[in-house]
């Protein structure tokens, strides 16, 4: 008996006989050569077993009718599916967030994962600038967002919250009065006509050169007083006028330090209008007479403020209640009674910001985090005080101070406005709905949003917003509130006539 084997190196022609041709096909068209050794016989047996397996696994016979209708061909068109079913196909958006730091703000409407907008938790990973800008039309949910995500929930976490409250809520005062009552915190109310609290424009806490740490230098008295005077006279001070103001400020501060008291702005105005011998000595005999002329315009402007718009606000010693309030987790500055027209409101907001920034610089060694909430950000959008406000915000990382500002219509602000700079430089931006086309288009241009964002912004429902971290693409978020938060954020009491 002769055993045969097939080798892949020798091809043969298919035989004419059908049976033999089928065997030739399953054998791979190999020639049969006699096996002489035991090794060749074992290899031949293995090939024979393989041939039998291949024969058993040959392709099934196609139905000719199904084959004619393309049943066995690959489908070119897709199959019908619902959006819920097809979510599983988009693995990029279905990936759940693994972030555990920070307080939850809302839900991602695409992936249904939780979203946090906590600037201190996102710092270093998502953002480098801890300031926040909230932009949107009236009635879209901006105030509810700020009151919950950046006030009540931050207080639970242990972060100190400072509010400059401008929005009036009936006879109670500002909108945050209810939060202050819940926290047991006093409301620091500013009123004109010596009927409220004072914060000294020349408070030693913001004296030049005192409140400093390495790499952090908040605006001092000189910058603040100069900005207030420039806003009053409507122009920039000249170098001679700045020199006169700087020397008068030094004389007034040194005199108050010797007498162990706080200097007052009216003293500075008097020193500029009627210089003392100490003031003249700083300029020397050659320029003594000229120095009186240089201090005339700044002195008159400061005198007008102390006896007019700012009377009872920044013209005296800082109220002790203000210093005591900073020891509380929630600090409520109620400026809702101040007139919108004139410099009073803008000056007070800038003085509070500068005063707070300098105090935090002194206390930064304790690594205390603070949130400053300014819902009516457009009040600091003009003039020199707005520039001081912006300069202080640039030191947010060194001070541990995150400023949350709210704005309405971007298109109403001039290109060089400090408010635009505040919005552009924010690390976290919450974009709410805009009803006007020009506002939506300006928002898209400012933040370089993807194509189609104009329609999205104009169709956002109340409580929904686009969240943008740094330069990343925005995500669609729904703000989620608890039942208790809905009560504290309800501002329709006056309109509806019932609590």
CA-atom Rg of the chain in angstroms: 38
**Do 171 and 205 lie in a common domain?**
no
Burial class of residue 459 in the structure, from the number of CB atoms within 10 Å of its CB (0-12 exposed, 13-18 middle, 19+ buried)? exposed
Please give the C-alpha separations between residue 86 and each of 93, 219, 343, 398, in angstroms, as whole numbers.
11, 55, 57, 47
User: What pTM does this model have?
Assistant: 0.71
Please check the confidence at residue 300 and state whether its pLDDT lies above 70.
yes
The model's pLDDT over 181-216, given as tens digits with 9 standing for 90+, comes to 888 888 888 887 777 788 888 888 776 444 444 444
Closest CA to 149 of 102, 185, 90, 188: 102
Domain membership of residue 73 (yes or no) is no
Q: What is the mean pLDDT of residues 84-98?
A: 62
Please check the confidence at residue 495 and state whether its pLDDT lies above 50.
no
**Do 377 and 273 lie in a common domain?**
no
Ramachandran area for residue 311 (φ above 0: left; ψ -120 to 50: alpha; else beta): beta
User: 362 falls in which pLDDT band (50, 70, 90)?
Assistant: low
Please check the confidence at residue 92 and state whether its pLDDT lies above 60.
no
Residue predicted with more confidence, 151 or 27: 151
Neighbours of 240 (CB within 10 A): 14
**Do 186 and 262 lie in a common domain?**
no
Please check the confidence at residue 237 and state whether its pLDDT lies above 60.
yes
The two beta strands, 30-34 and 4-11, are antiparallel
Q: How many domains does the chain have?
A: 3
Domain membership of residue 498 (yes or no) is no
User: 7 falls in which pLDDT band (50, 70, 90)?
Assistant: very low
Please check the confidence at residue 134 and state whether its pLDDT lies above 90.
yes
Domain membership of residue 373 (yes or no) is yes
Domain membership of residue 50 (yes or no) is yes
What is the Cα 389 distance to its own chain's centre? 17
Say what the alpha-carbon torsion angle 80, 83, 84, 85 is, to the nearest 10 degrees: 30
**Do 478 and 371 lie in a common domain?**
yes
pLDDT of residue 367: 67
The residue segments making up the domain with residue 248 are: 200-317
Per DSSP, the residues of 283-352 read HHHHHHHHHHHHTHHHHHHHHHHHHTTTTTTTSSPPPHHHHHHTTSSEEEEE-TTS-SSSSHHHHHHHHH
Question: Which has the minimum average pLDDT: 124-138, 406-420, 461-475?
Answer: 406-420
Q: What is the mean pLDDT of residues 290-316?
A: 81
Please check the confidence at residue 11 and state whether its pLDDT lies above 60.
no
User: 465 falls in which pLDDT band (50, 70, 90)?
Assistant: very high
The model's pLDDT over 37-88, given as tens digits with 9 standing for 90+, comes to 666 666 566 656 655 655 555 667 788 888 777 777 776 677 777 877 776 6
DSSP class of 168 = B
Domain membership of residue 71 (yes or no) is no
Please say whether the beta carbons of 491 and 478 come within 8 A.
no
User: 294 falls in which pLDDT band (50, 70, 90)?
Assistant: confident
């Amino acid at each position: 008996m002769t055993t045969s084997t097939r080798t892949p190196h020798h091809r043969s022609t298919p035989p004419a006989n059908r049976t033999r041709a089928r065997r030739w096909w399953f054998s791979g068209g190999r020639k049969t050569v006699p096996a002489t050794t035991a090794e060749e016989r074992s290899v031949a047996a293995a090939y024979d077993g393989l041939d039998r397996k291949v024969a058993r696994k040959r392709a099934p016979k196609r139905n000719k009718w199904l084959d004619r209708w393309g049943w066995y061909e690959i489908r070119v068109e897709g199959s019908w599916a619902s959006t819920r079913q097809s979510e599983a196909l988009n693995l990029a958006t279905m990936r759940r967030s693994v972030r555990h730091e920070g307080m939850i703000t809302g839900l991602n409407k695409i992936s249904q994962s939780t979203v946090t907008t906590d600037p201190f938790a996102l710092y270093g990973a998502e953002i480098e600038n801890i300031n926040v800008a909230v932009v949107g039309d009236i009635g879209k949910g901006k105030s509810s967002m700020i009151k919950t995500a950046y006030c009540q929930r931050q207080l639970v976490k242990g972060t100190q919250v400072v509010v400059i409250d401008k929005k009036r809520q009936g006879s109670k005062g500002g909108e945050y009065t209810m939060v202050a009552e819940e926290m047991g915190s006093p409301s620091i109310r500013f009123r004109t006509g010596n009927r409220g609290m004072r914060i000294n424009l020349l408070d030693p806490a913001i004296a030049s050169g005192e409140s400093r740490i390495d790499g952090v230098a908040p605006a001092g008295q000189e910058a603040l007083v100069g900005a207030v005077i420039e806003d009053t006279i409507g122009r920039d001070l000249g170098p001679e006028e700045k020199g006169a103001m700087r020397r008068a400020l030094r004389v007034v501060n040194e005199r108050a330090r010797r007498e162990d008291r706080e200097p007052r702005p009216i003293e500075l105005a008097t020193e500029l209008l009627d210089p003392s011998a100490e003031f003249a000595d700083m300029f020397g005999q050659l320029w003594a007479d000229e120095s009186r002329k240089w201090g005339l315009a700044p002195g008159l402007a400061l005198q007008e403020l102390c006896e007019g718009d700012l009377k009872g606000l920044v013209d005296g010693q800082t109220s002790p209640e203000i210093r005591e309030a900073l020891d509380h987790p929630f600090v409520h500055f109620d400026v809702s009674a101040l007139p919108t027209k004139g410099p009073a409101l803008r000056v007070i907001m800038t003085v509070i910001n500068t005063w707070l920034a300098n105090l935090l610089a002194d206390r930064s060694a304790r690594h205390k985090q603070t949130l400053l909430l300014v819902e009516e950000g457009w009040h600091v959008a003009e003039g020199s005080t707005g520039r001081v406000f912006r300069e202080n915000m640039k030191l947010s990382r060194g001070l541990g101070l995150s400023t949350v500002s709210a704005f309405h219509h971007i298109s109403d602000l001039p290109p060089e406005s400090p408010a635009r700079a505040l919005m552009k430089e924010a690390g976290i931006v919450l974009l709410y709905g805009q009803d006007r086309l020009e506002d939506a288009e300006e928002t898209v241009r400012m933040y370089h949003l993807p194509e189609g964002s104009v329609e999205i912004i104009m169709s956002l429902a109340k409580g929904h917003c686009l969240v943008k971290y740094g330069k990343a693409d925005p995500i669609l978020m729904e703000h989620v509130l608890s039942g208790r938060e809905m009560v504290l954020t309800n501002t329709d009491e006056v309109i509806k006539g019932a609590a």
